[in-house]
Structure 1
Amino acid sequence: MTDILAREIETGSDPNHPVRAILRRCRAWVERHPRVRWAYRLALGVLGVVVVLIGVLLIPLPGPGWLIVFLGIAILGTEFPAAHRLGLFLRRVLERALSWWRARRAARKQSAQQS
């Protein structure tokens, strides 16, 4: 990872970033108004489900089908605890699969060099 990319990630993760401050204020406003909160949750739920369904439709096609499914689960996970837990579980499974794949690839590369 380059220094520029690391710096940009660090800047975007800063809790004092102006965009994050605006989002915090908007979220606080939504929390103070129960009807708006209900509409917000409904809209977010519909958006998340639509994104997941589009991703499921795109899975057999070439392209980022699974990525879109995970994005939909992440959208749902911002408001619904069950979707958040599902997203964490999927992240752990993907990290394990990726580490297994890297170890397998390194072992194959090492055995090819020894031959």
Structure 2
Amino acid sequence: MGEVWIRTINNSLVRADRVTEIASTRASLHDDQGYALKVIVDGKAHVIIDDGGLPGSFTERQDYARHLEDALLVAIDEAHQSGASVVVCFEPESERWVMAAAAELTGQIPAVG
């Protein structure tokens, strides 16, 4: 069975099975608006999303971030079921979590679609 990895905003990969917490902050790392979403691995925070442009009240931004936290859990569960090594990452254009087989990313098999 393959492993599931999560891509960070720095293009690092963290193992999903080592994540102990998924957390969001009320603002992006650089602004007092928007939000940031991070995973905690071995006590260290790894930022997955940093969106300083999300408009809305604090409550609206937190609700949106919570929605993305839940969606990340679903994506990780689906990736585990695939049986292959998979990378999960956030696509800002579509505002969705996407999965790619590690073999596709390394060029071992052609991408479909």
TM-score, scaled relative to structure 2: 0.28
The structure having more radius of gyration, on CA atoms, is 1
Q: What's the TM-score, normalizing by structure 1?
A: 0.28
RCO comparison, higher one (Cα < 8 Å, 6+): 2
Where is the helix percentage greater, Structure 1 or Structure 2?
1
